[in-house]
Chains A and B, each alone.
Chain A
């Protein structure tokens, strides 16, 4: 068995009339950052809470390192989790908060100082956490997740509330952790947050799995070629004969899917159509994501 794998099998969680997670089956592999994406209310947090044994699934199973989370001895040494930046008592100091968590898993005291330094909270270590900003609370949560130096990390919306410097810091940290061979599952409802971070994407919509793909594939699947020619109608029909699907852009250029730039150039040459522009369009991840989740947004503003 691979080290540090999360296995979710047929996971379903139903709350009265609402299905939060619907027969979700997915495996999270080690050594890469897996982005866990979906609109608000798509079941990301519920899934993570089921993995951590905080929420009992209606059906299905979730295991970490081959066992249900609740059966792990000293779980913080195996799995680090950031579930909610508010998962702390506001009256405790940052140091006391991390100390009581470290003690519960018999982790060395020195680890507390190490993680405080790692997340940059030294100046406020002895302040009560109730006065922390959301960004500081997130750093405290990340510090708690890292306490046990775990092989598996589950972070629910870790960059929420962080400033740009903090966001970059989290990205670099996640990259570093994955490169060390750890399993990193990080959720977000914003694709842009994943663009430079994740290697692999798991996309949820209304509790169902919409995609489980490498980042590169998702981008490739939505790539297209843009070509501009004074003889657009002639070129368009030639491209269609060659197997491409062609759309006319607003500025008169053609957007071609299904053919690579070399093929488009060859077709234009053979047709005798003059080419004024020929370029590859990498689909923005945001667009690919919207396309995937478009039908599955649970809460949508309605124009009145």
Chain B
């Protein structure tokens, strides 16, 4: 079975349910508004990349909606019984989840890129930086790129958890618990153990961010997030292949 066919089919599945469009609209609204607000309250910044960083604040909570979208893309199948038809039409379940990941991942990249560009635009209009905020500035490009990558990896992590847990409530609870609650909790604990653990906990934003318990370089942050996403995804595929439906 050509992989392309399965990808096309998964795109039809994604676009033909209302939850996708609700989540998409909400994601654009929350991150866009958050970006405009973040830029507006940052009157000036010493470096272009810091100005963009403020404008990207909205991603820190807006990605919750992206997590919901990705989780529902998988658990929606189990909740409704659609999975029976899906597995009967594509019996190689790993292939099916891979196609779903390609589609949902591409959707995450598309939306997040558009939002990142919008946030950059907001920063250029509202935050004063000496010499302006050129899009070609390496620091700016890195900020935007890291944010898009983080948003997409968050989506993949959510997909993996969906395949692993099969229940919308369960997968959403775990995903948001890990991505949203662990860091603040570790920060409150103010212990050295909390610091050490914090390095290995993924978050909705990577790199230097006030919300994080532990400030890590963006490379570390992306690596941690990618590792969690890969682990959840691989475990999800293994369980999909082994379990009955």
Contact = CB atoms under 8 A, between A and B. Distances in A.
Interface of A: 49, 52-56, 69-76, 81, 83-84, 86-93, 96-97, 99-106, 144
A241 to B, nearest CB: 59
Contacts of B16: 91-93, 96-97, 99-100
A254 B41 CA distance: 101
B80 A90 contact: yes
Interface in B48-80: 76-77, 80
A72 B85 contact: no
Given A70-B92, A103-B12, A92 B84 contact: no
16 contacts: A54-B87, A54-B245, A55-B244, A56-B244, A75-B89, A83-B84, A87-B81, A87-B83, A88-B81, A91-B17, A92-B16, A93-B16, A101-B89, A104-B1, A104-B86, A104-B89
B91 A89 contact: no
A145 B13 CA distance: 18
Contacts of B81: 84, 86-88
List the 3 shortest-distance A-B pairs measured between CB atoms, nearest first: A96-B16, A104-B9, A103-B9
A293 B86 CA distance: 34
Interface residues of B, number: 31
A97 B86 CA distance: 10
Nearest to A96: B16
A207 to B, nearest CB: 16
A106 to B, nearest CB: 4
A117 to B, nearest CB: 20
Contacts of B29: none
A70 B195 CA distance: 47
B82 A105 contact: no
A125 to B, nearest CB: 13
A103 B88 contact: no
Contact of B18 (A53, A72, A75, A91): A91
B8 interface: yes
B9 A89 contact: no
B82 A87 contact: yes
A55 B245 contact: yes
A96 B245 CA distance: 23
A53 B17 contact: no
Nearest to A107: B5
Contacts of B168: none
B80 A53 contact: no
A235 B87 CA distance: 64
Contacts of B82: 87-89
A100 B13 contact: yes
Given A72-B91, A83-B85, A99-B16, 10 more contacts: A54-B87, A71-B91, A74-B1, A86-B81, A100-B9, A101-B9, A103-B12, A104-B86, A105-B90, A106-B5
Contacts of A81: 88
Contact of A76 (B19, B89, B92, B245): B89
Contacts of A73: 1
Contacts of A87: 81-85, 88
A96 B12 contact: yes
B2 interface: yes
A96 B82 CA distance: 13
Contact of A105 (B5, B19, B87, B242): B5
Contact of B1 (A93, A96, A106): A106
Nearest to B93: A70
B89 A105 contact: yes
B85 A144 contact: yes
A196 to B, nearest CB: 28
A90 B81 CA distance: 10
B232 interface: no
B28 interface: no
B1 A70 contact: no
Nearest to B6: A104
